[in-house]
Structure 1
Amino acid sequence: MSTYSFHTIEPCGYFGREYPVSLFHLREHLALQSLNNRYSFFVLHEKSKKLFAEVHFHGDGPAAISPMRAPFGSCVFSEKLPPEVLFDFILFAEEELRKDKINTIILKPAPAGYFPEQHNLLVPVLLNLNYGIQQAEVSAIVPVTERPFPEIIDSWENRKLRQAREAELVARLIHDENLEMVYSFILECRQQKHYSLSMTFEEVKLVVSKFPERFVLFGVFDQDNLAAAAITVRVTDDVLYNFYSDHHTNYDHFSPVVMLIESEYEYCRHQGLRLLDLGTSSAGGKLNFPLLDFKMRLGGMPSPKFTFVKTI
């Protein structure tokens, strides 16, 4: 019997996964992404009866997309999985998709900094399977260490942090019952700058209702007035993702987002999280260099985030 077997449905009676899995790979979240056809593929280690890899797609006409609606998806797998098995597994998924008249595959893995070892194997495997890079983005990821936030950021941002404190701005957690208030505030801030949000409040509310323990709200207050706010998501056991955040233009001179990110970073430190993901920096599908520079001044390390595409 082969050491590994490939499956088109989740195997019955398996004894856990040999790899970290994100929120966006959970079946409950996959069900929220789309009502379209879903295709799931798994690698089972026959001796241990543990999963060693998985990938999920939603159909969109002749295309299979992973993820349909989430920051990332694609294939996740154990560091112990032999490269040849990963290669064959992706071929297996392609062949199964082709049977259902799928002719295009789109994969968006997590930023490289989440799972560096897996990313360093997955990218060359995909390139050798003739996947092309459809989009190249840069995430800014802050490694969380014992060092306090002021020690890891640029001197200019430290100055802004001190100014905010001198103005008696205060950062604190916001209870999730105030989700609509936080969402509406961020939406108003985006509209001030002629931007929008990718999800409606009802869509965000639905996801939060399904995974309340995964979402953490932060705010920077000027007495009772919000100056800045964030909706963050614990996307893995050790990564906090800054999903939506912004500040009111009335507080531009204090740059309250610096204090906001400090509160997220300190939360990560106290919760034992490894990374704080400040997200990508793009506008109109192109790199937004000023935004990326700002995130890097806050301790963010550039981490490539690719979208791959292949015609099969």
Structure 2
Amino acid sequence: MNRHFILSIDDKYEIKVNYFIESEANHIFNTSDFFNIHQTERAFYFQLCKKNSELVLSTIHFTEIAPDLFKSPAKGTFGGFAIQENIDFNIYEQFIITIDDYLWCIDAKKIEVLMQPMCHNPSLFSLTYNIMMRLGYAVTNHELNYDLVVDNICFSEKINHGNRKRLNKCLREGFTAKELDYSVYDQAYSVILENRIRRGFVFSMNYEQILQMVNIFPEKIKLFGVFNQDVIVCSSICVVISPLILYVYAWGDIDNMQNYSPITLLANYIYEYAQKKAFQLLDLGTSTLLGEPNIGLMQFKKNLGCQESLKLSFSKIIKK
């Protein structure tokens, strides 16, 4: 496990495997720390570099999650590629081809890649789509993702009339929103879990897994909540994807909050937090499941001022 080696591309570029070089281009799910959480006996952390250099141009990791099935990421919201903005197309393509060839050489039968949403990096999305389709990959899942551009426009101007009324009502009633400290993380998690159960949805991470992420990424996992006096009535778990992107992984409110909709106040606070921290995008996640739309959830996010973008999964079955 973690044996490091080099795959040569040409006289200028090479792929360092399991060297775990830090790169500013990485998103959180492409870091070595995240890779190490889920790695198996056959797991590979590929980084495209110039020869005799530790300047990383692109990163992706694959883990064998079942016999001869390699996935990026093993678990998580997305994996896929991270790139430096100035990478040459032909070098990026050769990076993908070389990895594809290597996985075939070690007897992979299927390769899966869960890409980040198009809104995170439209150029990367487009380049990768072109290359993967020409290499024989197929789109095996397509979701609609929703994001909110963070700029100098206040949140109340982005949302619809109904949400402005709900926001003002929460403020009039004395509801307050704030970033949470560790002492109430368990309460915040319980609010979200109970909300999911009430709505018939599955919550993919248990509390211990959330705490593991907090311990490994203490500056990148943020919890926020809305209080009615001393009671948490609404909470969220957010992830700092990169210096430019804040992702709302999960949120929910307690029962019988329909007349107040404290999620609107929470969204307002998270948006203002994103403004202060100079994020450019607030990612509110998908509103489809296996491509099938959740109309209510889609409309909810549209009413918060969100726009849609694609989130794709690629796969390739290698015929021997």
Q: TM-score, normalised by structure 2?
A: 0.91
1:72 aligns with 2:78: yes
Stretch of structure 1 that moved more, 103-112 or 29-38: 29-38
Q: Does 1:10 align with 2:19?
A: yes
Provide the aligned length of Structure 1 versus Structure 2.
308
**1:304 and 2:310 correspond:** yes
Q: For the residues of structure 2 that align with 1:7 and 1:272, how far apart are their CA atoms?
A: 33
Which residues of structure 1 form unaligned runs of 5+?
none
Q: Residues 32-47 of structure 1 correspond to what in structure 2 (within 5 A)?
A: 32-46=37-51
Could you say which residue in structure 1 is the equivalent of 2:170? Answer: 164
> Which position in structure 2 is the counterpart of 1:217?
223
Q: Do 1:176 and 1:216's aligned partners in 2 also have CA atoms closer than 8 Å?
A: no
- 258-267 or 244-253, larger mean C-alpha shift: 244-253
Paired residue for 2:4?
A: none
> Is 1:21 paired with 2:21?
no
Q: CA deviation at 1:285?
A: 5.4
- Helix, strand or coil for the counterpart of 1:254? coil
CA distance in 1, matches of 2:310, 2:165: 29
Cα deviations across residues 16-71 of structure 1 (Å, max 9, x unaligned)? 64x62111111111111244521122211237641111110110222110011111
What are the residue-to-residue correspondences of 1:168-179 with 2, within 5 Å?
Answer: 168-179=174-185
Give the secondary-structure state (helix, strand or coil) at the position aligned to 2:251: strand
Structure-1 residue corresponding to 2:60 = 55
Q: Residue type matched to 1:262 in 2?
A: N
Greater CA deviation, 136-145 or 162-171?
A: 162-171
Give the superposition deviation at 1:298.
Answer: 0.7
Distance 1:220 1:273, change over 3 A: same
> Quick one: distance in 2 between partners of 1:33 and 1:203?
12
| Structure 2: runs of 5 or more not aligned | 1-9
| 3-state SS of paired residue (1:299) | coil
Counterpart in 1 of 2:136? 130
- Whichever residue aligns with residue 276 of structure 1, its letter is L
* CA–CA distance in structure 1, aligned partners of residues 15 and 196 of structure 2: 45
Distance in 1 (CA, whole Å) between partners of 2:46 and 2:289 is 33
- Secondary structure, counterpart of 1:10 in structure 2: coil
Residue equivalent to 2:3:
none
Question: Does the 8 Å contact 1:154/1:297 carry over to 2?
Answer: yes
Code of the residue aligned with 2:88 in structure 1: it is P
Are the counterparts in 1 of residues 145 and 287 from structure 2 also a CA contact under 8 Å?
Answer: yes
SS in 2 for 1:39: strand
Q: Residue 139 of structure 1 contacts residue 279 of structure 1 at CA under 8 Å; is this kept in 2?
A: yes
Question: In structure 2, what is the Cα distance between the partners aligned to 1:168 and 1:178?
Answer: 20
Q: Which residue matches 2:101?
A: 95
**C-alpha spacing 1:213/1:303, structure 2 compared with 1 (3 Å):** same
Secondary structure at 1:213 match in 2: coil
Counterpart position of 2:261: 255
| Partner-residue secondary structure (3-state), 1:55 | strand
Q: What is the distance in 1 between the residues matched to 2:146 and 2:163?
A: 16
Note the aligned Cα RMSD (angstroms): 1.8
CA change 1:228–1:110 in 2 (3 A) is same
Maintained 8 Å contact 1:149/1:262? yes
Which residue in the other structure is 1:229 paired with?
Answer: 235
8 Å Cα contact 2:30/2:61 also seen in 1: yes
> What is the percent sequence identity of the aligned residues?
25
Q: 1:235 & 1:94 partners in 2: Cα distance?
A: 26
SS of the residue corresponding to residue 76 of structure 2 reads: coil
Distance across 1 between alignment mates of 2:231 and 2:82: 42
Task: Choose which of 201, 204, 209 in structure 1 pairs with 2:207.
Answer: 201
Show the counterpart of 1:282: 288
**2:88 aligns to what?**
82
Cα distance between partner residues in 1 of 2:276 and 2:163: 22
Q: Is the 8 A contact 1:32 1:207 kept in 2?
A: no
Please, which of 139, 147, 150 is the counterpart of residue 141 of structure 1? Answer: 147
Structure 1 runs, 4 residues or longer, greater than 6 Å off: none
Aligned counterparts of 2:160 and 2:36: Cα–Cα separation in 1: 42
Q: CA deviation at 1:6?
A: 2.5
Q: Cα 1:95–1:27, aligned 2, differ >3 Å: closer, same or farther?
A: same
**Pair 1:191 & 2:200 matched:** no
Aligned partners of 1:142, 1:290: CA distance in 2, in Å? 18
